[in-house]
Structure 1
Amino acid sequence: MNLPNAITVARIAAAPFIAVLPFVPTATARIAAFVLFIVAAVTDYWDGHLARTRNLVTDLGRLLDPLADKLLLVATFVPMVVLMGGPLLRPLSSLPSARPGFAFMTPVGFVGLPWWVVAVVVGREVFMTVFRQIAARRGLVIGAIGPAKWKTGFQSTWVGAAYFWFFAQTLAQRSGWEGTAGWRAWAYFNGIAGALAMVGAVGLTLYSLALYLHRYGGILRAPAPARR
């Protein structure tokens, strides 16, 4: 097993911890989840870069890399849906009991993670996986386009902001910082960054899907190659 494949396997091994640690109600566990996610997101780029630049692309790597990406997607969205779920926007309230879990806190309200947002992002990934397989069987390799790469960047920023929020809010609750002006200012900054990244990720998810279908949709209408 070469180095890029070993990095990919390490990402696969980290996925269960990224999924489980946010549910442990301690700041230590949640900062560990954040660090693991950042490492996984960075190595997602570097394993492919190493494979291409060092001529280490293998069939095993082509199989493992998409698997690692899908596992990381599920591993992050499961705790995000459970901890942040609810309406997309909920009014701010001065009552602690009204705080909707770990939804982003912004000046206009709490920004949660409704099921339809997850359905859009995950549904697009599932569709593109099947679409690429169909295209490959008909002799067409569909590479990543610019908007899809930007989508990945926005999505990583969104997830990273959410995971750091799990840690920060837990620490603030334990330390009694939530009533301070400095804490609220930082919470607003993180919430705005996370919410805008989420909007950008969802928008680019739909836009990139439309571009893929516009450029390559004809492959779905083309006859399948005859089997020998």
Structure 2
Amino acid sequence: MGGPRLLRRGGRHPRRRRVRHPEEREQAGSQDAELTGAAMRWTLPNILTLARICLTPVIALLPFIQGYWPKVIAFVIFLVAAFSDVIDGYLARRHNQISELGQLLDPIADKLLLFATLIPIFWLTRHPTILVDYRIPWWGSFPVWVALLLVGREVLMTAFRFFAKRRGVVIPAVGAGKLKAVVQNVFIGATLFWFAWKDALATHPFAGWFRNFWDQFHGAVVALTLAGAILLTVYSLGVYLYRYRQLLK
């Protein structure tokens, strides 16, 4: 009692913990939350989604430029954008980086990409020139009712998902919806390349078995994937509405 206090090795007194005031703890917690929120906003998946949104006007404008190279570039950019949609979702799930911002931006990016590609497809197939005929084999011009169907389905599903979320129900993608997206993207990519192929033939005309084969094969891919996209658009919408029909009551 009253003797000298024992010192730690090195002759230092034991350090006392600083007790934080409740207001300081609350402020520190809010700062940590802000930093975490900022980090979740600028994750790689969200950056890829934003990049996809920024690329959509480029894809929409390039096919209107004369020549085949702009259309080839539009085709390549579309492939990059389509694959980035798969990659950002995989990265978000793999690294636990799913955020509210990503859930908001991803469907917006998908819709913008669809609209950006349907605009040149609709216009070019309905306005063939003297040198280049962009019309789709077996279909001719891109039908107005098909454009309304594809766009209307996306708008309706977005509204339905928002309505379901307000009622506490999250509607995930079903197999039919995923297959529809794949077939639809194949159609869009094949059509953009079809435009480039037609421009290339107008610039560098040639004949032979390869041209005849590719015309038949490529044209069949474009026509069949368009038919498949239409059927899957209607079918997948029916699957969603039937599976979540209780929400409509």
Structure 2 residue ranges without an equivalent (≥5): 1-41
The one-letter amino acid of 2:53's match is: I
- State the alpha-carbon separation in 2 of the partners of residues 126 and 97 from structure 1: 33
Distance 1:213 1:185, change over 3 A: same
- Per-residue displacement from partner, 1:69-115 (whole Å, max 9, x unpaired)? 111011000000001138xxxxxxxxx9889831233xxx4543111
Seen in structure 2, the aligned counterparts of structure 1 residues 100 and 28 have a Cα distance that, compared at 3 Å, is closer
| Contact preservation (8 Å) 1:148, 1:204 | yes
2:132 and 2:231 map into 1 onto residues whose CA distance is 25
TM-score by length of 1: 0.86
> 1:102 is matched with which residue: 134, 138, 152?
134
The DSSP-based 3-state class of the residue aligned with 2:86 is helix
Alpha carbons of structure 1 residues 210 and 161: separation in structure 2 relative to 1, 3 Å = same
Structure 2 residue 220 is the aligned partner of structure 1 residue 186 = no
Does the alignment pair 1:9 with 2:50?
A: yes
Shift of 1:41: 0.6
Give the Cα separation in 1 of the matches to 2:142 and 2:122: 6
Answer yes or no: is the 8 Å Cα contact 1:104–1:190 preserved in 2.
no
Distance in structure 1 (CA, Å) of the matches to 2:74 and 2:129: 26
SS state at 2:168 partner: coil
Counterpart residue identity of residue 215, structure 1: R
Q: Of 89, 108, 120, which residue of structure 2 is paired with 1:67?
A: 108
Q: CA deviation at 1:182?
A: 2.4
Distance 1:100 1:29 in 2: 15
RMSD, aligned α-carbons: 1.8
CA deviation digits over 1:17-68, x for unaligned, max 9? 0000000011111100000000001111111110011101111111111111
C-alpha distance in 1 between matches for 2:55 and 2:110:
12
Partner letter of residue 236 of structure 2? S
Distance 1:6 1:156 in 2: 22
Percent identity of the aligned residues? 43
- 1:104 match: secondary structure: coil
Residue correspondences, number: 208
C-alpha change, 1:180 and 1:173, in structure 2 (3 Å) is farther
| TM-score of the pair, normalised by structure 2 | 0.79
What is the one-letter code of the residue matched to 1:135? Answer: A
Give yes or no for the alignment of 1:135 onto 2:168: no
Correspondence 1:138-157 to 2 at 5 A: 138-157=167-186
| Structure 1 residue 157, shift from structure 2 partner | 0.6
Distance 1:123 1:166 in 2: 25
Residue 68 (structure 2) aligns with? 27
Give the equivalent residue in structure 1 for 2:147. Answer: 118
* Aligned-partner Cα distance in 1 for 2:149–2:52: 24
Which of the pair has more CA radius of gyration? 2
CA distance in 1, matches of 2:76, 2:70: 10
* SS of residue in 2 equivalent to 1:25: coil
Label 1:174 to 1:210 Cα distance change in 2 as closer, same or farther (>3 A). Answer: same
State whether residues 8 and 65 of structure 1, in contact with CA within 8 Å, keep that contact through their aligned partners in structure 2.
yes
